[in-house]
Structure 1
């Protein structure tokens, strides 16, 4: 009976140790009040779901970057309204895949909460990225 318990504990420990490579951390982002210019290469669509890119500013930075639609922030896209600048808290998880998984994206992003939503025009976005009027 004792050996069975030891084997089960060893098996459980080996199974759980595979999860040690998965990491989750919290990041804070500012999301601009406008989306990038309509360029198809920036958009992602898969079956019933499609995401659009965003302009983001990471905490501690003053430079706007394009947040690719290939890494959607799950739970945010359907809440985004143009004309509002957002500060959001996001859970960023990196998953360690086996080398056998070819095109797997190791990063996933999930909205934790909207810290603030302010009606305003975001400033400092590079003009060549703005939609033409």
Structure 2
């Protein structure tokens, strides 16, 4: 009987330690990294107008990029450590790190960082769209 009480006390202790350690992990002061990847992209020789923002949409100049040898240009914003010069088309390698932090107003976000400039060529990029402004933006501005 004494062995059963000791076993019950040990199990209770293990459960309490488990609950306390789980609670400590949930209150970390650091954002949680939820994903990481690296990829190569082409950055066009000129920026285009596009819509950026979280919650509030703002008209801004954005990069036109082709990711991983795609044939379509798409909008891209903010790359840490990338000193862009208009008139040059770049091929760069970047990292994308995804974060989660429920203490922030926007709990999930991504950061992009330049890892390497593979090439930088003075040229006019071909096949660029006029802009990256969606139709709904124009309709919103007219009303």
Interval containing the TM-score (normalised by the shorter chain) = 0.5 to 0.7
Find the residue that maps to 1:56 and give its secondary structure.
Answer: strand
Q: For residues 5-28 of structure 1, give each alpha carbon's deviation from its aligned partner in whole angstroms, at most 9, with x where no partner exists.
A: xx8xxx6xx75xx78753221021
**In the alignment, which residue of structure 1 is the partner of 2:124?**
121
- Identify the match of residue 101 of structure 1 among 90, 104, 107: 104
List structure 1 segments (4+ residues) > 6 angstroms apart after TM superposition: none
CA separation of 1:21/1:111 partners in 2, compared to 1, >3 Å: closer, same or farther? closer
- Point out the more displaced range, 100-109 or 80-89: 100-109
**In the alignment, which residue of structure 2 is the partner of 1:49?**
none
Q: For residues 85-114 of structure 1, give each alpha carbon's deviation from its aligned partner in whole angstroms, at most 9, with x where no partner exists.
A: 00111110001223x533245101111111
- Identify the match of residue 62 of structure 2 among 53, 61, 65: 53
Structure with bigger RCO (C-alpha 8 Å, 6+ apart): 1
CA separation of 1:95/1:37 partners in 2, compared to 1, >3 Å: closer, same or farther? closer
- Structure 1 length normalisation: TM-score? 0.64
Q: 1:24-63 to 2 correspondence within 5 Å?
A: 24-37=36-49, 41-43=58-60, 52-63=61-72
**In the alignment, which residue of structure 1 is the partner of 2:139?**
none
The whole-number CA distance in structure 2 between the counterparts of 1:116 and 1:21 is 30
The alignment's C-alpha RMSD in Å is 3.3
The whole-number CA distance in structure 2 between the counterparts of 1:27 and 1:60 is 10
- Structure 2 length normalisation: TM-score? 0.60
